[in-house]
Chains A and B, each alone.
Chain A
Amino acid sequence: QNRAVSGRVTEAETGQPLPGVSVVVKGTTIGTATDGDGSYTINIPATGATLQFRFIGYASVEKVVGEASTVDVALGSDTKQLQEVIVTALGVEREEKSLGYAASTVQAAEITKARASSPMNALQGKVAGVNISTASGAPGASTKVILRGYSSIGGNNNPLYVVDGVPIDNGAGNFQAGKEGSVDRTQDFGNRANDINPDDIASISILKGASATSLYGSRAANGVILITTKKGKVGEKLSVDFTTSATVSAPAFLPQLQNTFGQGWSGEFLTNENGSWGPKLHGKEHLWGNVVDNSQQLKLFKAQESNLRDFYETGTSFLNTLAISGGTEKSSYYLSYGNATEDGIVPTDADSYKRNTLSFRGSTQGKRLSASSSINFARKDASVVTTGQGDGGGATLFQELIQIPRDISIVDFKDIHNKFNNLDNFFTGYAQNPYYVLSANGNDYEENRIYGNVSINYKLRDWLTATARGGGDISNGQLKDWIAAYTLAEDSPVLAGGGTNSPGRVNERTRFARELNADFILSSNNDLTEDLHLNGILGYNVNERYSKENFAYITNLSIPGYYNLSNSSDPATVSTTESLRRLYGAYAQAEFSYRDYLFLSLNARNDWSSTLPKNNNSFFYPGVNTSFVFSEVFPEFLPSVLSYGKLRAAWGQTGNDAEPYSISSVLIPGDIGLGFGNILFPIDGRNAYELDNKIGNGLLQPEITSEYEVGASLSFLRNRINVDVAYYNRTTTDQILEVPIAASSGYTTQVMNIGKVENKGLELLLSATPLQTNDFRWDVRYTFSNNRNKVLKLRDGLEQVLLSDNYDTDFVAIEGQPLGVFKGPGYLKDAEGHIIVNESTGFPLQTTQKEILGNAQAKYLMGLYNTFDYKGVNLSVGLDYRQGGLFYSYTQRLTQFVGNTTNTLYNDRQPFIVPNSVVGVDADGDGKIDQDENGNLITRENTTAIDMENVANYWNDSYNPPVEREHLRDRSFVKLREVVLGYSLPSALIAKTPFSSVNISLVGRNLLMWTPENNNIIDPESTTFGNDLTSEVGEFASGPTTRSFGVSLKVGF
C-alpha cells in the first residue's frame, strides 16, 4: 500500500528554494527530484519509509516520514567535502585546508576499481604532477612513478614509499646479462611496491613538494608516497569482504608493418634472408627456405598481414582477496589473503606471475597505552620473457620475431622439431626460430618478503603523546636463468649462413635485502589561546638498509638441457656484492592554526648518514608552509559564486645522500672489455686485480633539493566546481654524479657534487559535477601538468654527461637543455642547409660532432576521468594523454633494418637522389671540401642517386649514419586507461540474503590507444632500461603492451 508525500526543499542559509534536489526512499530505487520552486511529490510505502535528500554542495539529509504527509527540508552547505583528510608526513592526518602545499589522497575504491594487480597502475592519469608508466605488457612488470619530473642526473629519482608510517624497499627487480644499464638479455621482475595487494590499501597519499616531505630528510627529494592499509575498526562487528576478478588480455599495440615487399635483400628474393628487402609481393606460389633432404617448402609470396598478432595468445589474470575485519570494545583486527595469478600474452607460461599475500593488522587500546601492529607476507613466483638483445647464444624472443619477413607465417614455426623449423635448417642464419627461443631459454624467479611494523602510543598528558614505532622489510629473491646449449650440424645451412653455436649458460642469483627503521616521536596538541592552536612533533629516526647479492654463472654446458651450476668443465664465475648504509635523523615540526583559517607549519630535520665522509656527514633540511582560507575570513567581500577559497605557499629542502662506498677508490677483479665480450680473470691459475676506473671522493655532500610552491584551492557554485592549482619550482644542486672524465687521467669517472637541475611547472586539478538529476549524476575530473625540466649547470669544461647510448644515439644531460637529450649523427650541410652527399655513393655525409635530435620531455600530461551514476549503475571512463617528447625504439631500428617498417616504402624502393642534396667541391684535392672566403663549404648539385642495391642500406645506419634519427619516435599518446561499468545491488534486494553488499563490474584497462602517425611501431611507454632516468631513453625490443578486460565481483558479508 503506497501513499504520496510532498514537500519543499530550501537552502538553510537563505531560505531560497532548491531545484533539482534528489529525493529517494532509502533502501529502494524509488526517487524523484525537486522542481523549479523546490517542491516534490513522491510515493512511499505505507510504513517505515525514510527519505534521503541529496544535492551536490550540500550536506545530505535523511528524514523519517512516519505518519506525515508533508516533509519540508532545509539543506545546509556541505563543508565535509572540503575538509578532505590528507595523510601527511609520518602518517599524521590533516584537513586539506590546513596544508600549505599540494597533496592528494586517493581512496580504496579508486585504487581497486579497474582491477590492476599493481596499486600504482590504478592511479594513472588521476593525479596531477604524477607520471606513472608500466615498463611493458608482461605480467608483473615494473611500474615507474615520477613526481614532478626528474631532478637527479645520476642518482635516484623514485619517490620514497612509506606503508603505515614505515619506509619500505621499492627495489627494482631488473636484471641484465651485461653491466648495469646494458640491454643484454634484460629481465624485469617488477619493483617491490607492486608486492602490495591493492585490495589491502585504504588510501594512497602523494606528497610531491619538498616542504611536504622534508621531515623525511635525505630520502625524500623525489616525493613520498604514503600508503595506508585497511584496518579493522574498534567496536564494529565482524565483516567479511570477498573480491574476485578475472580479466583477459591481448596485445594493445603491435608494429604496423609494410605489406608490399617480401623476403630478400637489395630487391632480390633470397631464401636465407631475415628481411623484406625482396621483390614486390606477387601472390604466386614459390619455393622458399632451405633444401632439406632434397625437399623444399612451397608457399604463396604474399603478405602475412597479421603474422605477429597471430603469434600471441590471450593472457589471463585472476585477482582474489578475502578479508576479515572487525573489532571489540578495545581492539580491532584485519586479516586478509590475496592472490594474483597471471599468464601473459606470449604462448607458453614463459610470462607468468603469481603473487600470494597474507596480511594481519591488529590494534588494542587502553586508557593511556595503545598498540598496533601490522605484518605482511608476500610471495612472488614469476617467469619473464627476456627482452633486449641476445647475448651468449641466448637470443631474445621479440628481437627474433620482428625480423621475420612479411610473407612468412610465424605460427607455422611452432613445431620446432619439424625438419624445416629446427635449429639446423631454419630459413635464416641471422635469426632463430622464436618458438625455439621460447622453449629452450627461460627463467624462474621466486621472492619471499615479510614487512610490517609495531607501534606503541602512550598518552603522557591529555595534550602529549609518545610514540615508538619500529618497522622491518626483509626480502629474499632468487633467480635462475638458463640458455640452452647447442651445436649446429657440420652441413647445417644455418651454420653456413652465419649462425653460431651456443655454449649455453646458467645464471643463479640471490638477492637479500633488509631494511630496519625505528622512530620515537613526541607529539603535542595545545590550545595556546582561544584562537591559536599548536600541534607539535619531536622525533628521532634510525634507519639501516642492507643488501647482499650472490651471483654465479657457468657457460659451456656439458649435459644439454640440464641447468645446474655444476654442469660445466669451466669453473663457475662468482661474485658477492654487499651494501650497508645507516642513517639517523632528528626532526621537529610545529603547526600553528589560527581560528581555523590561517595555518603555519615549520619543520626541520637533521640527518647523519654513513655514506658521506665521516667528518662531514650531518645535514639539515628545513621547511615551512602556510595556508590561508580567505573565504572564511571575509565571505562578504567575495562574489557569491565562490564558495571556498584558499591560498597557500611553501618552501622546503630535502636531500639525496651518496651511494655507499662512493668516497674511496678501490681495486676490482680483472675484467678487460673487448668491445664485444671481455677477458676475465682468473685465467690459467692466475688471478688479477686492476684499479677501478672510478676515483672516489672524500669530500662528497648530499644532493640538496630546494623547492617552493604556491597554490590556490577554489570552489564555485556551492562546491559544484573545484579548482586546485599549484606552481612549483624545484632546484637540485650538488648533484652526486659519477662524472665521466678523460681516460688520460687514468680513470673514466669521478664521483662529484656538480650540476644544478631545475624542475618547474604548473599542476591543475579541476573537478566538477556538470549534471545532476534525481537518477543521474555526472562527475568529471581533469588533471593537467606541464613540468619544465632544465639542466642549469654541469661543471666548467664538462659539456655533457652521457646517460645511456644505443648504437649511435646518445642520451645525454647538456647545460641549458632538459635532462635527457637525444644526440645522433648529423647531416653535413652547406650554408643553405642542403645535405651534402658522397659523390660516388649518393649517401649523406655526417658531421664530426653529433647533433641534438630532441628530448624525452613531455610538453604536458593530462588526465580526464568521467564518472556517471544512474540508479546504482556506475560508469567510469579514464583517459590519459601525453603530448611531446621522443623515445628511442630499437624495435623501429631492427624492423627498419630488415625492411619491415612502413617508412622503408619511401619512393617505392626505387633508386632516388637524396632530397635537397648537393655534393662537396674539392678542387685542390686535399681530401677536404673547399671553403669560400666566409668559411662556408662550396657545393654543387648532386646527380648521384642511391642505386637499387643500396636502397636497403640507405635505411641502415651502418651505411647511412644520420638515418639513425629514424629510430627516434614521438612519445605522445592518448590512452583509454580504464573503463569500468559497475552495478551495486540495491540494499532492498539483498536485505534477505547473507550479503551486506554486492557489486558486479565489467572492467577494461588500456582498451584503446592513439599515437601520432610518426609512431606506428610500439607503445611509447615501453621501456627496457629500468625504473629511473635512463628508462626515458625508450625501449630495446621490449615487446607489446597489453589491453585487458574482464569482470569483477565484490561481496561483503
Chain B
Amino acid sequence: CDKEFLDVNEDPNNPVVAPVEYVLPAAITSTASAVGGEYAILGGIWSQYYTQNNGSSQYISIDQFNIQPTSFNNRWTEQYAGALNDYRFVKEKAAAAKEWNAYLMATVMEAYNYQVLVDLYDRIPFDEAGQGETKQNLSPAFRDGQAVYDSLVVRIDKALALPVSGGVDAKLGKGDVVFNGDMQQWVRFANTLKLKIYMRQVYARPQVAEAGIKALYASGAEFLDEAADMAIFTDATSKRNPLYEMDQTTALNSNQNLKASNTFFSFLQVNNDPRLDKVYLPGSGGQKAMVQGTSGISTSQLVPATVSRALILPTAPVYFISEAESYFLQAEAALRGFGTGDAAALYSKGVDAAFEQIGSERMNLYPYPANGSFEDRLETIIVQKWASFAGTYQGLEAFLERNRTGYPETSEVAATNAAYQPGEFTYPVEGITSGKLFPTRLPWPQDEVQRNPNAPQTPEPITKPVWWDVK
C-alpha cells in the first residue's frame, strides 16, 4: 500500500522515450540555430556584409573584434547539448532498430556540426562528448581539430557503407527537415560534406586533401545538385528563420542593428550586381552603406535611418551547403586537378545557382578568367563564393573560406581612401585587436572552461589561426 501511495514520481509532463523521427527535427534545428542564427550574425559582420548601426549597439563587440569567452556560450551549449546530444540519441536508437537511413542523416548532420566547431574553436571535445548520462563523463577530453577531421571522414564512410535505402524514406518523411526523406540527396550531402572537409585542409595537409578528394571522385561519388537546407520556416512567431527571429522581431527591441557594410556594398555597386536590392533594404534616402566598424559615429553626422540595413526574410531557408557552394567546391577540385570536370563550367554553374537562389538575374556578370593564373582563378571562385553566401545565407562559411584562402583580399588603405578597391576588406575603424589582425577563431566559451577541467585553461587570442589556416 505504501509503495503504491508513494509511487507517483513518473513525470506526467514529458516523455521518457520518443521515436527518432521526432528527435531529428529538433537536432537539425539546433544546428540551424547556430549557422543560421548567432553565427550568421558573426559571419555576416566578419565577412563584411554587415556592420553595426551607429544608433544602437547590439553587435558592437562582434564588429570591434571584442569577443569575450562569454559571448558564444549559448551557441556552444546549443550545439553540444542541443544538436550533438540529440544526434547521438538518434544514432543509438537507429542502430538498435537498424534504421540506417536515420543513422546516415544523424551522422552527416553530426559531422557537419562538428566541422563548424573545429573551424571556430580548433580543439574541441569529440569522442568523449555526449557521455554525461551514459558514462557519467562530465569532463570530456579536448581533441585536436585535425584528429576530429579524420574521424569525421571515417564516421561518414561507415554510415555510407551501411544498407541505406534508395528513394524516399516515408517513415522519416516529415522528420527529415532537409530532404523530406530523399535518401539519394542525403548520400550526395554526405559526399559534398566530405569534399568540403578535405578541401579545408588543402593548405595544411595537401597530400591528405588531394588523396581524399581523388578517392572520392574515383568512387563515383555524386555531389549535391540542390541545396542541403532547412526550408520549413513559416512567418509566425518562433517558427521563422532564426536570423529573422532573433534580429528582426520584437525579441530584440530594435531591428536596426545590422547595416550595409561598405565592403560588400561597394563590390555589388561597382559590378552593377542586382543582388544589392536583395541583400539590403534601402534607407530613407535610398541605398547607402557605412564603413565597417564605425558605429561610434554620432547620429547627427550619420543619421541612422539613411543607411541601408540588412534585408532578412522570415521564411528564408537556413543553408547547410547550398547548390552554388557544391559547384564552387567542385570547381576548385577541378582547378586543383583533384577532381574531374571543367572548372570554368562548374564555376559558372555555381554563379548561376547563386543568382537563382537569391532570385536575381545574373546577366553576364563575373566571367571566369580562363587565362588567369591559378591564384586569379581561385580568387574568382572564392570571391563569388563569398558573394553567394551574402546576406542571410552562410556568412560563417564565407568567413572560414576567407581564412583558408585569403580571399577577398584585405585593402591596404582605408575605405574612405580614393585608392580603395571595392570589395576589399577593411579593418573595422573601431577594431580593438592589436596589430590590426582579423579574428580567425572564437575563444573557448567560459561555461565550458569553467565547468570542464579538461578544457584548455589558457585562452588563445582570437587572432590565432586554427590548425588548417596556414595560407
Contact = CB atoms under 8 A, between A and B. Distances in A.
Interface of A: 265-266, 268, 270, 273, 390-393, 429-430, 496-498, 500-503, 555-556, 570, 573, 576-578, 580-582, 584, 608-611, 614, 617, 660-661, 663-668, 670, 672-681, 683-693, 695, 740-748, 750, 797-800, 808, 838, 841, 846, 848, 922, 925-928, 949-950, 953, 956, 958-959, 961
Interface stretch (B3-11, B194-202, B360-368, B418-426): B3-11
Contact of B11 (A614, A661, A748, A838): A661
B397 interface: no
A91 B131 CA distance: 51
Contact of A678 (B124, B245, B448): B245
A798 B451 contact: yes
A688 B129 contact: no
B11 to A, nearest CB: 4
Interface of B: 2-3, 5-18, 22-27, 29-30, 32-33, 37-38, 55-57, 60-61, 68-70, 74-82, 84-86, 88-89, 124-125, 128-133, 137-140, 174-175, 177, 232-234, 236-240, 242, 245-247, 249-256, 284, 296, 298-300, 304-305, 430, 432-435, 437, 447-448, 450-453, 455, 459, 461, 463
B74 to A, nearest CB: 5
B174 A686 contact: yes
Contacts of B84: 746
Nearest to B437: A927
Contacts of B6: 582, 584, 608-610, 614, 617
B9 A610 contact: yes
16 contacts: A498-B304, A576-B13, A584-B2, A608-B2, A673-B33, A676-B245, A681-B26, A684-B234, A690-B27, A744-B124, A746-B88, A748-B81, A799-B450, A927-B435, A949-B298, A959-B60
A742 B452 contact: yes
B434 to A, nearest CB: 4
Given A742-B138, A745-B138, A660 B9 contact: yes
Given A610-B6, A675-B37, A742 B251 contact: no
Contact of B133 (A392, A665, A672, A922): A665
A674 B435 contact: no
B246 A675 contact: yes
Contacts of A684: 232-234, 239
Given A502-B250, A677-B252, 17 more contacts: A270-B300, A555-B237, A577-B13, A580-B12, A584-B5, A614-B3, A667-B17, A670-B25, A670-B26, A675-B37, A688-B22, A689-B15, A690-B82, A747-B133, A926-B435, A958-B60, A959-B57
A693 B81 contact: yes
B432 to A, nearest CB: 6
A580 B8 contact: yes
Contact of B85 (A580, A673, A747): A747
Given A570-B237, A667-B17, A691-B89, A679 B29 contact: yes
Contacts of A570: 236-237, 239
A695 B138 CA distance: 11
A678 B299 CA distance: 31
B15 A927 contact: no
Given A689-B26, A953-B296, A667 B246 contact: no
Contacts of A582: 5-6, 8
A683 B234 contact: yes
A690 B86 contact: yes
Nearest to B126: A744
B26 A690 contact: yes
B452 to A, nearest CB: 4
A571 to B, nearest CB: 8
A581 B8 CA distance: 7
A667 B14 contact: yes
A789 B87 CA distance: 44
Residue among B85, B86, B88, B128 with the highest chain A CB neighbour number at 10 A: B85
Given A265-B298, A683-B232, A747 B26 contact: no
Contacts of A928: 434, 461
A742 B69 contact: no
Contacts of A664: 10-11, 16
Contacts of A800: 450
Contacts of A502: 250
Residue among B132, B432, B437 with the highest chain A CB neighbour number at 10 A: B132
Nearest to B64: A959
B299 A745 contact: no
Given A266-B298, A683-B234, A927-B434, A797 B242 contact: no
Given A689-B15, A744-B452, A746-B80, A922 B434 contact: yes
Contacts of B284: 496
B23 A683 contact: no
B9 A268 contact: no
Nearest to B29: A672
A576 B11 CA distance: 12
Nearest to A399: B253
Contacts of A679: 29, 32-33, 238-240, 242, 245
Nearest to A810: B70
B25 to A, nearest CB: 4
A326 to B, nearest CB: 42
B138 A672 contact: no
A1010 B75 CA distance: 45
Contacts of B139: 742, 745, 797
B140 A503 contact: no
A745 B452 CA distance: 9
Given A498-B56, A503-B237, A617-B6, A688 B252 contact: no
B374 to A, nearest CB: 32
A747 B132 contact: yes
Residue among A273, A668, A672, A949 with the highest chain B CB neighbour number at 10 A: A672
